[in-house]
Structure 1
Amino acid sequence: MRIKVKIAENNRPFEIHYVDAEAESTVDTFLNGLVMKKLIHVNGMNNFTCSGYKKSELRIQKLEELFSAGSKIKLTSPAATLTLTLKGGAEEQVHHWLFDYSEFIRMTHYYYDTTVKENIAPDTVFFIQHNYDKVLARYSNRHLDFYYMDNHFEALTDGRLPTPNMKIHFKSREELSKDELKWMRSISFPDKLPKNPVLAGKEIKSQQDIDEATVLLHRIITIIGRFGRAGEPLKKSETDYPSYVQVGEASTIGYVSLKQLQKLN
């Protein structure tokens, strides 16, 4: 079964995660799994209670029995509240907000914190090569455009702006539309700063799509961070692009020239 876990701990913003569990698993086994994933603290694991159950009974209760009375269960302790919602049905399972966006959200916050400190010229183009993919990313203050190089290289290098394969907007809470705000609240706490990511141009069909966006963001952050630590400003150029190139397990960060990209293409 797939369970939406909303975690509200004292003095921390709430988090939402989606966890797969066996129907015959006990509550104790399920909570141990959350501890192993570092979603909750081990110290308070034995203090959770649930309406209708004694504390000793709750720990040995099977999940399928726990949800037999309804699709939403609340576990409470002095330190935290867990709201467990059973997600069912094939159509609902594939809905994009049931995927795990936690790492993607963390990376978008990290991206904001990194870029806000740097002076990056609008329309700076980054080059990323990893897992046999060659991707160009065009930077803007409030969004990133990603292009697969095999499809868009000529258009990008002669000044045209083709439709990106994927775009990530970064919006403040006030800038989110009603639907975007609803979606953001389903996966994280909307931030008042422009840290809230809105994906466009790419239909999210699987967890792999989200993970790909997360990795691409991480590559951009790595490039910016490496140049920043070296005290070397990123330069916007029509002939040299800040780059992250991974071949096997080795990676190189620097600049790649237009001539080199033309050979790759």
Structure 2
Amino acid sequence: MSDNSENKGFIRRFLDAPADSVGKTVFVAVALCLVASMIVSATAVALRPTQEINKQKDKQVNILQVAGLYDPAVDVTDAFGKFEPQVLEIETGTFTDKFDAATFDDRASADNPETSIELDEDPAGIGRQSKYVTVYLLRDDAGELDKVILPIHGYGLWSTLYGFIALEENGNDIFGLQFYSHAETPGLGAEVDNPRWKSLWSGKKLSDDNGDLQITVAKTATAAGADFHVDALAGATLTSVGVDNLVRFWMGEEGYALFLENLKSGDL
């Protein structure tokens, strides 16, 4: 009997082994893992186009909201058609046709050494800054500029906050501010999503009559006055500091300052 067992091939010996043997148990476990991983991978690939579409739609919803145009009863794509996306070259403060504004990826551009710069002074905590960003123009029925929506991002307490700031046609009065992606502490830093706090931004100004940037997020107003002050989030000091830093960075000389000057002078 021993000789017969030795003469059997590996597969025959495996099949003849008890169902609860170590070999069969390991084989079944490995097989199940392989099949499950293949199913998960195939599902992820199949769902990727849908995920990208949903991601794009969520971004459009946030732009509509910060511009005060979101209506759940109106198709998002149709409503977003009112906006005119443009790729802005930050260094010159002018629009460029190097990229297609409909498909340009701001985040990918910031990670690409060819289209971004590493920051020496980095108050917003972003590491690298893209040389190009997508801005969104909203015009009235007469074709005149009504609002401009600018992307902003920077580090809070636990995460990078991504959002938009909406400015009136004069490039100085704030219409609204909204973040669409962050991982701040629920009930504290995450209160950046609170409608009451977001409403504080409406009507505030970026710069004074001399063109000096004055907007701040703080517990108390600065000498510049209430027109430039947004109350800090209660119990979320570091997130508030992060928002203050990122807004001042993007609205300052390293961000959109030159673009806003061109906007005010009518050079765009």
- Smaller-chain TM-score range? under 0.3
* TM-score, with length taken from structure 2: 0.26
Indicate the structure whose relative CO is greater, using CA pairs within 8 Å and at least 6 residues apart: 1
* TM-score, with length taken from structure 1: 0.27
Larger of the two Rg values belongs to structure:
2
